[in-house]
Amino acid sequence: MITIWAVRDPQSSASVVPGVSGYPAYSAGMTVNENPIHLVYRVPKSNYRSYADGGLLFYNLYSSPTEIATDSTYTYVEMILP
């Protein structure tokens, strides 16, 4: 299951992304302090192309998706959107 996990907030030191600060948890209706918005998706490594044949591949015309963190179970992919 893909989950919108976090939003980049340069004013925050909190983070739900392992090893990276400034990424508080995403919640619907929250205030975002940056434009363009940086969303982080949490994807099981078993379903992500870099770790599994046939896994998901993210594509974005605005900016290339970036894997910003990984742990034993999940990978965290940042998408920048206008």
Residue 1 has pLDDT above 90, yes or no: no
Any idea what DSSP says for residue 82? Answer: -
C-beta separation of 38 from 53 below 8 A: no
Mean of the pLDDT values across residues 46-75?
95
Instruction: Please state the three-class secondary structure of 7-76 as a single string.
Output: ECCCCCCCECCCCCCCECECCCCCCCCCCCEEEEEEEEHHHECCCCCCCECCCCCCCCCEEEEECCCEEE
pLDDT score at 2: 87
Q: Per residue in 12-59, pLDDT tens?
A: 999 999 999 999 999 999 999 899 999 999 999 999 999 999 999 999
For 35, the domain range is 3-81
Q: How many domains does the chain have?
A: 1
